[in-house]
Structure 1
Amino acid sequence: MDDRILVEVYIPFVQTSLSIYLPLQAKLQDCMDVCIAYIEKKQIPIQKQFYLYHENDQKILAMDCCVAQSGLHTASYIILI
């Protein structure tokens, strides 16, 4: 069994998707950090708080939750809102 999953995170305001491998023991904040780093690399100013929305479950994910406890699985589709 693999100790990580591959998720797709769509970032609407930069019109791009990122494929991110997440270790099961990682916090969802780690996924958010990767997305924010990508946005900052594009030199786009960040002026608000973001959330990760799990489209399949139609819920906002708790950033302090571990990936293994979040209900995410390989091929989950997440939107940065």
Structure 2
Amino acid sequence: MSRAFDMELFLAGVLTGSHSTRQRHVRQAKIIQAEIAKRWQRETPWAWQQKHMIWFLKERLARRSNATRYYYLLTLRLLARRLEKSWV
């Protein structure tokens, strides 16, 4: 049986800022991961495509405030930077 994916370890190289900011990014990345895994059956960020992140922003955050969407966008940018993708 494989171990669960460690999002905190995955983002460790690109996380900067205060402890609370890093924790927020990790928490939001875990939420993004869970939603994409539930909808698309893609368990790790290495399997994600740009359409998965766009889907999350448009569909899952549609009824959230502008501030919430902005903070999730920052987390998605960190994920894209870690994956070395030019999705932003």
TM-score, normalising length: structure 1: 0.30
If asked which structure has higher relative contact order (CA below 8 Å, sep 6+), I would say 1
Bigger fraction of residues in strand = 1
Bigger fraction of residues in helix = 2
